[in-house]
Structure 1
Amino acid sequence: MTDAQIDADYNVRNTVSPELFDATVEEYRRRSREVVDGLDGFADLRYDPDSTERLDVWGTGGDLRPVFVAIHGGYWRALSRHHTAFMSRMLDAAGIATVAVDYGLAPHTPLEEIVRQVRAAVAWVYHYGAEHGLDPSRIVVGGSSAGGHLTAATMVSGWQADFGLPDDVVRAAMPISGLFDIRPLVNSFANEWLGLDDARADALSPMLQTDRVGPRAVIAVAEHDGVGFLSQSRMFHDAWARHSESELLVVPDRNHYDVFLDLAEPESALSRALLGLFAGLAHT
């Protein structure tokens, strides 16, 4: 595949107009701000002693609640947790808490460090979540675009022991419109801020780490997503399903950006799938 074809397949900004992109990102922020107004929770918590990154907890109260760890997209270089809480009201109504996570952004933060920080956020939920109304035995991770890649980085094996976690700390997962084999990005426009070489891209590709049993997953992607994101979602589902329970969900009439907003609507296919992941969990 030529570099020009890789750019065409992975530059999802070209799949929507600039006006629609700007409006959707603003809706992330507006709806996130609106839905957390009045929700019980804890804001601006530092989760990682080795960085200054923060997270917010929304929708707590009463017994320990299962928790959705929400990871924002932005091609690893944009957006924040403040764009990523719009599902918290929907989940609160179902008795589920939301943890919206920040991570350092490229190019200032290397992708290895971004992955480590997201895993550290999961570790914080496990080790300290009970102090904030969260059930450490019922953690589901999900995210969109770059957040889909980072979600997959928490699904694979081999990292948990470094954080004092059980292998099954992530009980279920929903990567949405993610990238799982980032080797093509070495020859793409995205490497302007990622700065990857082939060896690092190999190590950072969850697609190459699917040889062990992992959490139940819904691999979601928008019908009108970028070519690369559609093909990688299908391939990751096929790879994950070889050892673990996996469902591929292609969301009709959605693009790379607005599909994530479906988690604000309780009757959407995406929300029903996420709630189904929680329904399958039991206390451990």
Structure 2
Amino acid sequence: MNLKSVSSNRSDPAWLDLQYNNRALVPEHAAHFERWAAASAQARQGLPCLLDVAYGHGPGETLDVFPAPRKHGRPPAPVLVFIHGGYWRSLDKSDHSFIAPAFVKQGACVVIPNYALCPAVTIPQIALQMTQALAWVYRYIGTHGGDPQRITLVGHSAGGHLAAMMLACQWSLVGQDLPDALVQSAMSISGVFDLEPLRHTPFLKDSLRLTPRQVSQASPAGFAAPPLQDGRGELIAVAGADESDEFVRQNQLIQSAWGKEIVPVCETLPGLNHFSVLEALVDPRHRLHKLAKQLLKD
């Protein structure tokens, strides 16, 4: 690939739309959404769960908890917090309940938060909502059998971006009762870590309304690498090999920015697009699922 040509393309609106419009890149995306919705409804019906628990007072500030199976003498369960995607402007936690069963079956407590959507809020405001969601998890997940010392984040697309933001958070500024290493580890699936291209992408511009200051505030690739805290704080970054060149570049960018100590695994997974890569997360046979499972055990 000619890097100079790619760099110049990033000022071409048509090229940016081609690279970042995942629904256009995957014509069968509606079938993925239909499968997610059906599996999510089944998960809510088949698993014990607490739905629409408030973690704040604003619009969208609710979360769903899928507790781990409780057994006498079992220690508190590791906690998987899944942050959904949708370019910060669409989708809902209820579309992603299907993430829970595979991990609850393995003894984890799963939490899926919502957040307000652009353009009613900005991306930095959504990131602040996620800090409040994580603070709620730390403070209250013990009531639901989870271990607040073992919180792992997994996020898809916009959620992958938010997972990296949470890994870089200075938690003492969120609450004096919160530990510096609130997040044990994180996984970003098809995340975006430099928001500058999105500021110029036509199909996103009107809803995201990104300003240069917001790009600076919310681009993890521009942050100093977060320190490891007692061996905690690693990020796994993955994308589908069938995703656009820009999503593959964005995935590699966070390892380049933060280094291999913080991002020890940075992979493109063969045969997966922007939507099927999320389905691989819940397939016990797939490497992506095994990577997430290992994070929960560490």
| TM-score bracket for this pair, using the shorter chain length | over 0.9
- Whether 1:2 and 2:11 are equivalent positions in the alignment is yes
Q: Which moved more, 1:184-193 or 1:139-148?
A: 184-193
- Which one of 202, 208, 211 corresponds to residue 194 of structure 1? 208
- Which consecutive unaligned segments of at least 5 residues does structure 2 have? 1-9
Partner of residue 177, structure 1: 190
- Whether 1:41 and 2:49 are equivalent positions in the alignment is yes
- Whether 1:205 and 2:219 are equivalent positions in the alignment is yes
Q: Tell me, yes or no, if the aligned pair for 1:129 and 1:135 is still in contact at 8 Å.
A: yes
Identity of aligned residues (%): 31
Distance in 2 (alpha carbons) for counterparts of 1:245 and 1:53 = 29
Alignment: residue pair count? 278
CA shift for structure 1 position 133: 1.6
Distance in 1 (alpha carbons) for counterparts of 2:67 and 2:103 = 8
Partner of residue 15, structure 1: 25
Q: Secondary structure at the match of 2:270?
A: strand
- Which consecutive unaligned segments of at least 5 residues does structure 1 have? none
- Which one of 257, 262, 268 corresponds to residue 244 of structure 1? 262
Q: Which moved more, 1:201-210 or 1:32-41?
A: 32-41
* TM-score normalised by length of structure 2: 0.88
Distance in 1 (alpha carbons) for counterparts of 2:156 and 2:58 = 25
Aligned CA-pair RMSD: 1.6
Distance in 1 (alpha carbons) for counterparts of 2:79 and 2:41 = 19
- Whether 1:149 and 2:161 are equivalent positions in the alignment is yes
Partner of residue 236, structure 2: 218
AA of the residue aligned to 1:23:
A
Q: Secondary structure at the match of 1:44?
A: strand
Distance in 2 (alpha carbons) for counterparts of 1:54 and 1:98 = 14
- Which one of 158, 167, 173 corresponds to residue 180 of structure 2? 167
- Whether 1:267 and 2:285 are equivalent positions in the alignment is yes
AA of the residue aligned to 1:184:
P
CA shift for structure 1 position 60: 2.5
Q: Tell me, yes or no, if the aligned pair for 1:71 and 1:101 is still in contact at 8 Å.
A: yes
Distance in 2 (alpha carbons) for counterparts of 1:167 and 1:98 = 22
- Whether 1:64 and 2:64 are equivalent positions in the alignment is no
Partner of residue 271, structure 2: 253
Q: Secondary structure at the match of 1:253?
A: coil
After TM superposition, which residue ranges in structure 1, 4 or more long, deviate above 6 angstroms? none
Partner of residue 90, structure 1: 102
Distance in 2 (alpha carbons) for counterparts of 1:162 and 1:106 = 23
